[in-house]
Amino acid sequence: MGVCLPRPIIDDDNNGGMKQTAEEDEKKTKTTESTINNRRCKPNERVPLGKLTKFGYSTDFLQKYEKGKLLGRGQFGCTYAATDVATGENVAVKMIEKKNMILPIAVEDVKREVKILKVLSGHENIVRFYDAFEDDDYVYIVMELCEGGELLDRILARLPYSLCTAISYIFPHM
């Protein structure tokens, strides 16, 4: 399953502000706080924070899109070509595994990425963001499919750039 966080220490207001361990809390309650895929977690089982997080995104990705071929792999997930079932439009979908979101900062990074894409979507030099989805195992970020190849390869093939050339690419209408 990979590296996981231990169950957190719970600050229970009923015990005078003293912290109690997850094991003590497990003895107090008959139900478990985290259930993954409808199975009961063991008291000492470690669960990645991402698996416990509900991002608030739509949950119907598999009904709206058909996943296609793998386009690339990154540190936290993979990007696939996909097709919008309703319109037939080709898109890219970044699938980020929740089990890889070990620390709170990883969860916040995904949330921040979606927020940034929403704000910048519509700019002519930024990939268009369509929507974000989630299920028990993945966060799906659906965006414009760019089929022009790797940007870094093109940049490296044309080095060195003069300042004027770089500015002309960033601000083509100046």
The structural domains of the chain, with segments of one domain joined by +, span: 10-47, 61-151
For 114-146, write each residue's pLDDT tens digit.
999 999 988 887 899 999 999 999 999 999 998
Distances (CA, A) of 91 to 39, 95, 107, 133: 34, 13, 24, 14
Annotated ligand binding at 64? The verdict is no
For 26-46, write each residue's pLDDT tens digit.
443 333 333 334 444 455 556
Single out the residue of 39, 65, 19 nearest to residue 8, CA to CA: 19
pTM metric for this prediction: 0.65
Q: Which fold does the domain 61-151 belong to in CATH?
A: Phosphorylase Kinase; domain 1 (3.30.200)
